[in-house]
Chain A
Amino acid sequence: MKLRKLALTASLAAIGLSSALTAYAQAKEQFFPVLVYRTGAYGPNGTPWANGYVDYLKLVNARGGINGVKLSFEECEFGYATDRGVECYERLKGKHGGGTVFQPLSTGVTFALTEKAAVDKIPLITAGYGRSESQNGAVFTWNFPLLGTYWVGADVLIQHIAKKEGGYDKLKGKKIALVYHDSPYGKEPIALLEERARMHGFNLQLLPVAHPGVEQKATWLQIRQNRPDFVLLWGWGVMNSTSLKEAQATGFPRDKMYGIWWAGAEPDVKDVGDGAKGYNAVALQHGAEPNSAVVKEVLEKLHGKGQGTGPKEEVGSVLYMRGMISAMLGVEGVAQAQTRYGKGKVMTGEQVRWGLENLNLDQKKLDAIGFAGVMRPVQTSCLDHMGSSWARIHTWNGSKWEFSSDWYQADEKVIRPMVMLTSAKYAEEKKITPRTPEQCKQ
């Protein structure tokens, strides 16, 4: 009888101890919800991004976590559908102690979540997409379009074209066509391009393409009729390769085509091959980076041990790198938050927001985490949620992307007034009182 009692007590104690340990382990994990689209029309582009994102989270764990705090993550597939993206957000936001940060990889979902994230106090990182005016942290407190917005991308493209032509004055009378995905994403650069067209006197032609973008014959017939000097491509997924094929079929020179960074990766051109030779795209700082230190570390610590997420050959490709960088920005936001709220502790969404607003990824830091040569330093502030506005052009040579220009910085004189005007309108519409520099110091 005594023995039975002892065994029962020991069992209960063991259960209690293991529950406590589990709770402790859970408490020490920083949860990263991962919105992905590995299936559907945009799956070929969404998959490498998701693989890079998840691999970086795994790599941080392999390095020992963020000051000892391990990362946990859960994927939710939404197929690039805005309603399903919002559903994924609702499902994951409260799980495992609460989501640290959301990165929806969809401008449509970003528009839908902008108000929800503020209520739930969870930051939204939209590296290279989302609302351009959300750079203004005074109004968009929870949005972080880190590294660049579509206005940055469009501005750099016009700067590059002007440089190639011999100056802004040479743009007068030129025709520039924008072939864009008929969605919030595709429409985002129009305001900036109209402003630049007004400044330099070029004619802007707008050519929307309906989702998913496989039918573009009429669009390219119009291009053939109007004979623009340059075509800017604002597509995503299959729309990009279809545009390049139609350009080939109508004889439009590919070296006069410039894509945004979501139209400048391997899935956009590999199916077109030589037909895309000479096609350019603005790079969100990085390109394909197979020789970077972080890629070598992923190959050694994850793929070398059979723990990699996707195929080994994909590691270092353009969209894989974008996924890794996006994850890294979230992780560094948490690391920065820990410097204020306690190293080795799990951070709340609100604390991570502070981290993201005080991000300071200088060259030394980038070198230390394996991103030397991949990107430039990033420094954010309470009022500037973008942190960097540099970009460069890369060109498809028929088999790989190669950088073909020096760095450009988006012109703040053009973009800043637009950001302030549009964000002020948003604040008025949503009855938001913008934060003052004094409030930022608190």
Chain B
Amino acid sequence: MAFFLETLIGGLMAGMLYSLVALGFVLIFKASGVFNFAQGAMVLFAALAMARFSEWIPGWLGVANPIIANILAFIIAALIMFVVAWLIERLVLRHLVNQEGATLLMATLGIAYFLEGVGQTIFGSDIYKIDVGMPKDPVLMLESVFEGGILINKEDFYAALIAAALVAALALFFQKTGTGRALRAVADDHQAAQSIGIPLNRIWVIVWCVAGIVALVAGIIWGSKLGVQFSLATVALRALPVVILGGLTSVPGAIVGGLIIGVGEKLSEVYLGPLVGGGIEIWFAYMLALVFLLFRPQGLFGEKIIDRV
């Protein structure tokens, strides 16, 4: 029982981190109808900027305190992500207004390759460290209830808390602010939103900026766990089944989808993996998402699309 609980909790915490990356997809899709394949590359790019500036700043400015260095690096990395967002809108999206979804998807695919290449050219392709003081050692809980207790990874726990806080803040932003409502209006219909005076270009810059910040936070958390290197870009692939399952237009969907995928893949690897030779968690996540799609093609929380024939 203790082991089952450990696996379950581990899955929930991993799922929360998947939700964070999935949120980047959802944000941009909600606001612009673009399936942003570059979200993983943005995570890598932001994490590289954060890692390298936190390394360079003490030497440049003589700042010995790592907290100050990290804060300065965060601000610079956030500014860089704003510039990236502005450039994407200016150079790519502005020219593709009202184009087919597939065209926009291909454009983001190009952005992904560009960011991966440029990121590694500017910041290097080695493994870099982000140290934001996350505890690395585990803690044992409920030792009096279960023999040997339940082991909780403190780093995963804090990461899940940060992810949850960010997700909650974004949910509020979408539901309760004027900009959030404008974002949703743009997502529903570009032309209708424009006709009532919503500035499409500004909205797109805003949403890509927000997605950039989400990517930065995800990059810091994943980078702190795994080290900052190219594989961070593949983290986005972990979030794809989450958005398939949760629905592309739903923030709660990203959260619930993340938790289901996180728990599903861990339980499957631990309990089913040994029966089939192991290493199944990656494809199992996709399979789980596909099974859900059989029953709800729009995802758990996605909007049902009804077109007039």
Partner-B contacts on A (CB < 8 A):
38-41, 43-44, 47, 182, 206-210, 212-215, 217-219, 221-222, 224-225, 237-238, 241-242, 245, 248-251, 267, 270-271, 275
Contact = CB atoms under 8 A, between A and B. Distances in A.
Given A218-B273, A221-B7, A271-B128, 7 more contacts: A39-B120, A212-B231, A221-B6, A224-B151, A237-B231, A241-B127, A271-B127
A250 B279 contact: no
B201 interface: no
Interface stretch (B173-181, B222-230, B296-304): B222-230
Given A215-B238, A218-B265, A245-B136, A43 B230 contact: yes
B125 A214 contact: no
Given A208-B277, A249-B138, A270-B127, A219 B231 contact: no
B151 A250 contact: yes
Given A208-B278, A245-B226, A218 B7 contact: yes
Given A217-B266, A221-B7, A44 B226 contact: no
Contact of A41 (B129, B230, B279): B230
A271 B127 CA distance: 7
A225 B271 CA distance: 12
Contacts of A43: 120, 125, 229-230
A214 B127 contact: no
Interface in B24-75: none
- Interface magnitude class on chain B: 35 or more
B231 A41 contact: yes
Given A214-B235, A221-B7, A275 B136 contact: yes
A218 B231 CA distance: 19
Contacts of A182: 278-279
Given A41-B229, A238-B229, A245-B226, A267 B265 contact: no
Contacts of B269: 218-219, 222
B10 interface: yes
A245 B224 CA distance: 10
Interface in B264-303: 265-266, 269-270, 273-274, 277-279, 281-282
A207 B229 contact: no
6 contacts: A41-B234, A44-B125, A208-B278, A214-B234, A218-B266, A222-B270
B189 interface: no
Contacts of A250: 138, 151, 153
Contacts of B100: none
A342 B127 CA distance: 46
B3 interface: yes
B188 interface: no
B230 A40 contact: yes
A206 to B, nearest CB: 7
B225 A217 contact: no
B264 to A, nearest CB: 11
Contacts of A207: 278
Contact of A245 (B14, B225, B266): B225
Contact of B226 (A47, A209, A238): A238
Nearest to B270: A218
A249 B225 CA distance: 10
B126 A241 contact: no
Nearest to B152: A249
Residue of A38, A182, A207, A271 with highest tally of chain B CB at under 10 A: A271
